[in-house]
Amino acid sequence: MIPTVSASRVEGALILDGVLDEEAWLRAVPATAFTQLDPFEGQPATEETRVFFLYDDEALYVGA
């Protein structure tokens, strides 16, 4: 099965400051099913990793 992620549509402008505290980021569903490359390739990540995807008519936004 090919892994997929979901991107949530955002309305209005985002402040691109590296802080994911806007309502759009808080509502976005995080991608969490990551695997590690080193030292145990293919095993679940040992550290919690959450990546969020938003989009609008102009861009795809990625926050982690």
What pLDDT shows up at residue 63? 97
Whole-angstrom Cα distance, residue 19 to residue 30?
15
What pLDDT shows up at residue 52? 97
> In angstroms, what is the C-alpha Rg of the chain?
14
DSSP sequence for 5-43: ---EE--S----SS---SHHHHHSPPB---B--SSSTTS
What pLDDT shows up at residue 3? 85
Higher pLDDT, 45 or 52: 52
**pTM for the structure as a whole:** 0.84
